[in-house]
Structure 1
Amino acid sequence: MNQESIESILARKHTDPEETIKSIFDLKEALLTQTCLPDQREKVWKLLLGVRNISASSYIHLVELGPSALDDKIRNDTFRTMATDTSFLEHVSEDMLIRLLNAFVWTGEKDPRIESIRTLLTDKPITNITYMQGMNVLAAPFLMVMPEMDAFFAFSTFIYRWCPLYVLPTMRGVHCGIRLFELCLRSLDPTLYGYLRGKNLSATVYALPPIMTFSACTAPLSELLQLWDYMFAHGLHLNILFVIAQIALIRGDILQTQSPYKILRVLPPLRAKEIIELTKVLVKSLPSDLYQKLVYHAYDESVADNLGIAATSSTASELHQGEEDLPAYLRDFHL
């Protein structure tokens, strides 16, 4: 039986919530094997993120409040957002980014009108979320995919509902993600993990930017959009595995150099299809308890609580394994 196309699923009309749930499930399944076309992406992202309320009056109200207390900080970041991507620069102005991010900061204010706007974004009593460096890079893909007002609601829903711990002042979700990155890499590829630890390279040094930005700091944007199609369909926790997959694709180069940081400092251009295919293998290779921690870490603080242990280095036997020995997840994947 042939799988229904994304276009056909998006064209469905529904009369009850159960039909809607079924269509979203079918859409996620379709995105396992089908490519989301640019003209489908706006609707697909909104459906997958659960963006159900877009209020023009609410966005206009936030914009009319003017610059927030963090306007200077925002402007210090926005001018360099996707600065080398000509397509982005043609479609998205710096003013759009500044308005969207200032409006987002205003959503954190304790004001009855603003609190009612915040209920459009989340039903959870989340506090302390504000602008953090790097959020300009997270907002950029939304502005590339949809109009400014829609991008604001999609971006804000993404932050409030799916990864609130990533943008707390403590960045607890990001630090939790880095710890999980190390635990996953150690489980999946002890040779590579041990080699990097032996060079005194902790994941904080090289994995922080791509984890914190969900790979949005790595060009090109066209490939990132495909990664996010898959991530929104199957979970933001895949962010961690995407970074492991990116590193796995240059594993041989890393193991052959005495200065791996020179390679890891700037990851090579994204190759979405290869990263996604390798990520599918990684998911199957992880212990179930570790995978569960991945699933919840961006919005459930109990995961960070449970990970209050120091990362351990590899054992001597792991460190002395032959570098030519591929781990299971790569033996089953044809680069």
Structure 2
Amino acid sequence: MTSPTREAFPPIAEAFNAFATTTLPNQIHAPPSPHTHRLRKLQSAHNLGAAARISTQNSLISQQVLRHPQEGAPPTTRNVNRSPQRNRANSDATPPPPPTPTIFPNNLLLTLNHKRSALSKASRVADAMSLDRLIREGPPDGDVNSALESARLKVLDQGIRSDSDGMSRTRIYFWLIFIDAPILDTNEYLALIHRGASPAYSKIRNDTFRTLTTDPLFRRRVSEASLIRLLNAIAWKLHDAKEERRPTSSRLSLAHTESASSSRSDISQTDASSPSARNRARALTLTTEGSDAATSEPGTYVQGMNVLAAPFLYAARSEVEAFAAFHTLLTKECPGYIRGAMDGVHRGLALVDKVLAIVDPKLSFYLTSKGLSAEIYAFPSVLTLCACTPPLPEVLKHWDFLFAYGPQLNIVCIVAQLIMMRNELLTSLK
């Protein structure tokens, strides 16, 4: 049995010609001319197969048009007259065609194309804009998702424009956008500063003078006073949130204990009536509140927060911007970092060991055999999101990537750093 040809269905060919020229002028081409079969013998086997598939598909669409004259979208066609496939060199039989897609009505097709073009248009506009212009003018056509995706790709491909010192006018704004930091009133930050020494003030002062002491860029731009103000304000903010979560009975007992201790101190010391003396006494007595290693409750300050806050102050154009970004990172992105036992840090260290064992089992086994787990060599990198690893301009680029795609990828970056120094580790630890 031979396959049906176009000449065997002249009414179908005429109907298809009328349908193709009036209904779908841009989507479907007219069927081949009667000379097509004579020209096929002069073509290669590849061109012959392609022409045969187009001819069969057009014939099937024509049959569906005649079979459903009143419907705009006929059901999916079936090749009822399809013959078994034969050798192309011996006959002109057409091979089985691919499934024919459903033909949509003109209005529905135009609507879908319009929606696709609208989405792609917003995405194309965002891709054509630079990062600085995207910050200055906002997302085109209000399409925030397309603008965010375009900004992430640009950060990954081009990076945020900055000078040799890592300074950029737009970097802090991208950080605030990527981590979804809320708008903060400057007066709220000033109110936290004017409250004086926080419960963790003594611990803060013990850490701030040691923050990135070997980095001249940081020491030249960021003063210790600004770092103290930022960490003290963060400690007050976390302290207030902790007090709100504390039951009422516990708060009353704590207030009673504080008043009793202050009364005893007033009796024993004659100069304790001055405000400065009271602030110093409170800072010394309450410095470890909420930061005990034996508890898993959120604290007010843990060691290492000073290094984690340093890049924010370096990249921000004001302390308020640095405060908003740093507080959002601690409370939304890495809440486990500020717990007394640093649960998030230890979980991250366990992930470093697991990822390294998957990526490079030989290096992982070698380090383990030498007694080197991630708890020993990766603790600062996990705690500070690699902010402790100089140089500082490279840290800022690293944070651009982390905030764009998630701080959890810091674990993968630490493992990548180990892989880069793999040969040195295998040779130096023998």
TM-score by length of 2: 0.55
Alpha-carbon separation, structure 2, partners of 1:10 and 1:82 = 30
Q: Which runs of 5+ in 2 are unaligned?
A: 1-123, 162-167, 246-295
Alpha-carbon separation, structure 1, partners of 2:351 and 2:243 = 39
Residue 195 of structure 2 is aligned to residue 195 of structure 1: no
Amino acid at match of 1:26: S
CA RMSD of aligned residues (A): 2.3
Paired residue for 1:42?
Answer: 172
Residue 133 of structure 2 is aligned to residue 8 of structure 1: yes
Please tell me whether the aligned partners of residues 4 and 30 of structure 1 are also in contact (alpha carbons under 8 angstroms).
no
Alpha-carbon separation, structure 2, partners of 1:15 and 1:29 = 16
Distance change in 2, residues 1:72/1:61 (3 Å): same
- What are the Cα deviations for residues 23-58 of structure 1, in whole angstroms up to 9, with x where unaligned? 222211211101202222121111111123121111
- What are the Cα deviations for residues 306-335 of structure 1, in whole angstroms up to 9, with x where unaligned? xxxxxxxxxxxxxxxxxxxxxxxxxxxxxx
- What are the Cα deviations for residues 40-95 of structure 1, in whole angstroms up to 9, with x where unaligned? 21211111111231211110110011111111110110001111111111111001
Alpha-carbon separation, structure 2, partners of 1:192 and 1:241 = 15
Alpha-carbon separation, structure 1, partners of 2:170 and 2:241 = 36
Residue 135 of structure 2 is aligned to residue 135 of structure 1: no
Residue 243 of structure 2 is aligned to residue 90 of structure 1: no
Distance change in 2, residues 1:51/1:258 (3 Å): closer
Residue 149 of structure 2 is aligned to residue 25 of structure 1: yes
Please tell me whether the aligned partners of residues 49 and 232 of structure 1 are also in contact (alpha carbons under 8 angstroms).
yes
Distance change in 2, residues 1:145/1:196 (3 Å): same
Alpha-carbon separation, structure 1, partners of 2:212 and 2:422 = 27
Distance change in 2, residues 1:127/1:113 (3 Å): closer
Paired residue for 1:235?
Answer: 406
Please tell me whether the aligned partners of residues 3 and 30 of structure 1 are also in contact (alpha carbons under 8 angstroms).
no
Please tell me whether the aligned partners of residues 336 and 344 of structure 2 are also in contact (alpha carbons under 8 angstroms).
yes
Distance change in 2, residues 1:111/1:234 (3 Å): closer
Distance change in 2, residues 1:189/1:112 (3 Å): closer
Listed as ranges, the matches of 1:278-297 within 5 Å are: none
Alpha-carbon separation, structure 2, partners of 1:229 and 1:150 = 16
Alpha-carbon separation, structure 2, partners of 1:36 and 1:226 = 8
Paired residue for 1:164?
Answer: 335
Alpha-carbon separation, structure 1, partners of 2:361 and 2:242 = 52
The farther-off stretch of 22-31 and 180-189 is 22-31
Alpha-carbon separation, structure 2, partners of 1:63 and 1:40 = 26
Larger Rg, first or second structure (1 or 2): 2
Count of aligned positions: 248
Paired residue for 2:261?
Answer: none
- What are the Cα deviations for residues 260-294 of structure 1, in whole angstroms up to 9, with x where unaligned? xxxxxxxxxxxxxxxxxxxxxxxxxxxxxxxxxxx
- What are the Cα deviations for residues 109-157 of structure 1, in whole angstroms up to 9, with x where unaligned? 3489999xxxxxxxxxx96242110000010000001111110111101
Please tell me whether the aligned partners of residues 239 and 300 of structure 2 are also in contact (alpha carbons under 8 angstroms).
no
Paired residue for 2:58?
Answer: none
Distance change in 2, residues 1:177/1:132 (3 Å): same
Q: Which runs of 5+ in 1 are unaligned?
A: 116-125, 260-335
Alpha-carbon separation, structure 2, partners of 1:192 and 1:101 = 38
Please tell me whether the aligned partners of residues 208 and 227 of structure 2 are also in contact (alpha carbons under 8 angstroms).
yes
Please tell me whether the aligned partners of residues 198 and 235 of structure 2 are also in contact (alpha carbons under 8 angstroms).
yes
Distance change in 2, residues 1:110/1:6 (3 Å): closer
Please tell me whether the aligned partners of residues 107 and 114 of structure 1 are also in contact (alpha carbons under 8 angstroms).
no
Amino acid at match of 1:63: I
Alpha-carbon separation, structure 2, partners of 1:170 and 1:114 = 21
Question: Which secondary structure does the structure 2 equivalent of 1:53 belong to?
Answer: coil
- What are the Cα deviations for residues 188-237 of structure 1, in whole angstroms up to 9, with x where unaligned? 00000010011111111101111111001111111100000011001101
Alpha-carbon separation, structure 1, partners of 2:351 and 2:139 = 40
Distance change in 2, residues 1:165/1:111 (3 Å): closer
Paired residue for 1:330?
Answer: none
Alpha-carbon separation, structure 2, partners of 1:113 and 1:218 = 35
Alpha-carbon separation, structure 2, partners of 1:114 and 1:62 = 16
Paired residue for 2:415?
Answer: 244
Displacement, 1:15?
9.1
Amino acid at match of 1:35: G
Displacement, 1:12?
2.8
Residue 389 of structure 2 is aligned to residue 218 of structure 1: yes
Displacement, 1:180?
0.7
TM-score by length of 1: 0.70
Residue 356 of structure 2 is aligned to residue 185 of structure 1: yes
Displacement, 1:14?
5.3
Paired residue for 2:199?
Answer: 69
Alpha-carbon separation, structure 2, partners of 1:74 and 1:111 = 19
Paired residue for 2:268?
Answer: none
Alpha-carbon separation, structure 1, partners of 2:233 and 2:337 = 19
